[in-house]
Amino acid sequence: NMEAALRQDLQNGNGLYVVYQPQYNQDKYIVGAEALVRWDSSVYGMVPPVQFIPIAEESGLIDALGMLVVKQVLRDICALDGLFERSHLQHVSINLSIKQLTDPNLASRLLAEFQEQNIAPNKVRFEFTESAFLDNALDPKTMFSEMSEIGFTFSLDDFGTGFSSLSYLKDLPISELKIDKSFVDGIPENESDTTICSATISMAQKLGLELVAEGVETQAQFDWLAAQGCDLLQGYLMSKPIEFNIFIGLL
């Protein structure tokens, strides 16, 4: 039933929209933003992404949903002249389901959208999760290199929660790591969490990757992560995901 409702809302362009969660540098400038999809269903009300994204992935609706998000982000970016030039904003991140990478035409379809809106591919960074590779035999390397040749950059989301993450770092063109909230939660009291976080930060630095801590909820977490050299911080302490016009106000 939920799949049918989602299909209908996607077809009619109802109830699906994008919110933005700012990413801050240590000086508290907004330098990035993560686009997060929202579904306000006429049948179910607000449905959380963790509930409807898997349904979209299983039913093949993820392609249409993913494209809707990309188009909305590009429209938002376009609506404000000089958005990047007049602020510290460097890129907007979009979550990409690994199911979308099974489309051999993905890179060219995305490029067409960017060209239509006249936006440079490096203004958008695509986040994907390592665990998403596990349940399918797809070799993502070709798609990743095709997309990075175009100028798209990638971020490995929820780092540390899946498997073989280190081989992805070696084999795929990745610019950024996001430490999962579950490790940030334990800062500063939990010794395993702080050890994992500081090791991840120093690994990212040595590999020349940017590092984002997600789920930063307390000042103590912010201060600890900043002292360890974490580049970017995202979480409810600074801002929840918000609508674009509110984001622009903060920016």
Applying CB under 6 A, which residues contact ligand C2E?
A: 21, 36-37, 48-50, 53, 66, 69, 95, 97, 127, 157-158, 214-217, 234-236, 241
In this structure, are residues 20 and 244 in contact, taking their beta carbons and an 8 Å threshold? yes
By the 10 Å C-beta count (0-12 exposed, 13-18 middle, 19+ buried), 218 is classed as middle
Give 97 or 228: the residue with its C-beta nearer to ligand C2E.
97
Q: Helix or strand or coil: residue 32?
A: strand
Of 110 and 177, which has the nearer Cβ to Mg ion?
177
What is the C-alpha end-to-end distance of the chain, expressed in Å? 39
The DSSP code for 31 is E
* Binds 217: which of ligand C2E, Mg ion, none (CB < 5-8 Å by kind): ligand C2E
Nearer to Mg ion, 7 or 185 (CB): 185
**Cβ 81 to ligand C2E shortest distance, Å:** 25
Residue 140 binding: pick among ligand C2E, Mg ion, none (C-beta 5-8 Å cut-off by kind) = none
Q: Give residues in contact with Mg ion (CB under 5 A).
A: 95, 127, 157-158
- E strand or H helix at 157: strand 153-159
What is the nearest approach in angstroms of ligand C2E to the Cβ of residue 222? 11
**Spatial distance between the Cα atoms of 131 and 98, rounded to a whole number of angstroms:** 9
Measured CA to CA, the distance from residue 173 to residue 32 in angstroms comes to: 19
Q: Which amino acid is at 151?
A: G
The partner in contact with residue 82, picked from ligand C2E, Mg ion, none with C-beta cut-offs of 5 to 8 angstroms by kind, is none
The 8-class DSSP code of residue 28 comes to S
Q: Closest approach of Cβ 82 to ligand C2E, in Å? A: 26
Between 81 and 132, name the residue whose CB sits nearer to ligand C2E: 132
**Shortest CB 52 distance to ligand C2E, Å:** 9
Nearest to 201 by CA among 178, 182, 218, 221: 178
Question: Shortest CA distance to 11 belongs to which of 64, 66, 73?
Answer: 64
The smaller minimum CB distance to ligand C2E, of residues 201 and 216, is found at: 216
CB of 158 to ligand C2E, least distance (A): 5
